[in-house]
Structure 1
Amino acid sequence: MAGTLNDRQPDDEPAPDRAGAKRARWGRGRRLLLTGGLLAGLLLIALAAGFFHFAASLPDKVAEPARRTDAIVVLTGGSGRVSTGLRLLERRRADKLFVSGVYKGVDVSELLRVSQQAPGWLTCCVTLGYEAETTYGNAIETAAWVQRNGFGSVRLVTAAYHMPRSLLEFRRRMPEVTIVPHPVFPDHVKQDEWWRWPGSAHLLLGEYGKYLVARVRALVTGPLQAAGVSG
């Protein structure tokens, strides 16, 4: 009998709802975009909050200026660092001074002359390190020197904005050594009102980024107990 259900041909099947499937895919894509945008926004907020905390927590004074340590360590790369280290040595805050990251070819006498210090007796107490090119390298180079000399404490001299990353790298490399921070405050870095000075803002943003990279590396590779261990 024509027209019965048993006689229905394949062409009589209802057409798939292509428009509905397209709307469903579009809805899923929209939800993914919204979720990704929300996560990106939260990440930006977290990074911004972290930067403001970083800038606000930078040292604004030398906490323990009179404390003696076994050695003084100066990280090159900014104004006032070497001269500060030499003054501390002259004032007997330590018996030895290590300058990390010196350009090859620079000797102690030239360093003292450039820093406007009379060579005199200071020459015999200063050691230069030529291997380091980064803060990470400074920590490796200094740790090896500290280990060779059996020192248990050092005064770390570097710029205030550079101090958080330096302390992170140094304490990771030398967990059993007492590290006393001695920040230097370059005139060109407007630390208190950095938002009013594009140069200072750019410098602090760059340093914050490097600090985050150092934190991630420390979390991934873990603490290092020996100067000779790579990581």
Structure 2
Amino acid sequence: MSLQPDDQATKPPRAASRGWLRGVVLAGMAVVFVGVTVGFVGFLAKLRGVEVAPASRADGIVVLTGGSSRVSDAMELLAGGYGKRLLISGVHPTNAASDISRSLPDNQQLLTCCVDLDRSAINTRSNAAETRRWAHERGFRSLIVVTSNYHMPRAIVELSHAMPDVRLIPFAVVGEKWRDEPWWTRGATVRLLLSEYVKYVAAELRVRLADAGLDLTPELADHPEGSPAPSPATAQAN
């Protein structure tokens, strides 16, 4: 009488090892996917859906260029007495104050007396560095931060890391498209949010490493020599 060989007994060890490794990889990918999904949901929870007046007044106001109506909203806050001066950070080097004044004809006096332009910043990190310099030169201990709602989490990470001694009060600008229809119905908005989430996570990781004494990207990297000029009217689409 012949016996059929036991499949398990004759299964090659290499094949069993590959099956175990495949299971570990799939389990790891599942954990990463769940982690990213939970993190993205947490990121979305940080985003305001409506504009809310700042909780309090501050010494100064800073607006990070790169989105529609950010500067006009910041000017309204300045006119309302929410801050003594306004810094517009990330203005293109070729843009003069007159270019901004033409777009804000109702705020000529404020533009002349109480607005400073930063033309050096090329990204959110250098926005933070230039804002720190401006705030410290003027002795400001509190700032209202004006930027788009999707950009606010990353902006606060960079600004709070650059200025731990300055109190930051966020004012999130909510675009018309965001208010008019759900973000998940527009592919461009979904891509924007995913991209911003990745940048936010990268900024959080870099800041945490820097706080631990491991700065992989020194601040000087914000101003690389020979870097291409940013697009007109803004340093970067923050």
Alignment partners' CA distance in 2, 1:222 and 1:103: 31
5 Å-filtered alignment, 1:130-145, equals 130-145=119-134
Q: Give the structure-2-normalised TM-score.
A: 0.80
Contact 1:135/1:166 (8 A) holds in 2: yes
Shift of 1:56: 2.6
Shift of 1:89: 1.1
The alignment status of 1:112 with 2:101, answered yes or no, reads yes
5 Å-filtered alignment, 1:41-120, equals 41-65=30-54, 67-120=56-109
Contact 2:64/2:70 (8 A) holds in 1: yes
Shift of 1:193: 2.3
Shift of 1:124: 2.0
Shift of 1:178: 0.5
Amino acid at match of 1:138: N
Alignment partners' CA distance in 2, 1:139 and 1:192: 32
Alignment partners' CA distance in 2, 1:100 and 1:109: 16
Contact 1:108/1:127 (8 A) holds in 2: no
2:184 to 187, 195, 213: 195
What is residue 171 of structure 2 aligned with on the other side?
A: 182
What is residue 11 of structure 1 aligned with on the other side?
A: none
Kindly tell me the number of residue pairs found equivalent between the two proteins: 208
Alignment partners' CA distance in 1, 2:46 and 2:180: 11
SS of alignment partner, residue 144 of structure 2: strand
Contact 1:66/1:93 (8 A) holds in 2: no
Shift of 1:173: 0.8
What is residue 5 of structure 2 aligned with on the other side?
A: none
Alignment partners' CA distance in 1, 2:110 and 2:131: 23
Alignment partners' CA distance in 2, 1:202 and 1:80: 21
Shift of 1:151: 0.6
What is residue 19 of structure 2 aligned with on the other side?
A: 30
1:168 to 157, 172, 192: 157
SS of alignment partner, residue 78 of structure 1: coil
Alignment partners' CA distance in 1, 2:69 and 2:207: 29
Shift of 1:192: 7.1
Contact 1:108/1:126 (8 A) holds in 2: no
5 Å-filtered alignment, 1:3-18, equals none
Contact 1:190/1:200 (8 A) holds in 2: no
Cα pair distance change 1:73/1:195, threshold 3 Å: same
Give the aligned CA root-mean-square deviation in angstroms.
Answer: 2.3
Computing the radius of gyration over CA atoms, which structure comes out larger, 1 or 2?
A: 1
Q: Percent identity?
A: 34
Amino acid at match of 1:94: G
What is residue 15 of structure 1 aligned with on the other side?
A: none
- What are the ranges of 5 or more consecutive residues in structure 1 without an aligned counterpart? 1-19
What is residue 156 of structure 1 aligned with on the other side?
A: 145
Contact 2:64/2:146 (8 A) holds in 1: yes
- CA distances 1:157-186 after superposition (whole Å, capped 9, x unpaired): 000111111111111111110100011011
Alignment partners' CA distance in 2, 1:183 and 1:79: 12
Contact 2:47/2:149 (8 A) holds in 1: yes
Alignment partners' CA distance in 2, 1:221 and 1:203: 27
Cα pair distance change 1:159/1:223, threshold 3 Å: farther
1:218 to 199, 207, 224: 207
Alignment partners' CA distance in 2, 1:190 and 1:67: 24
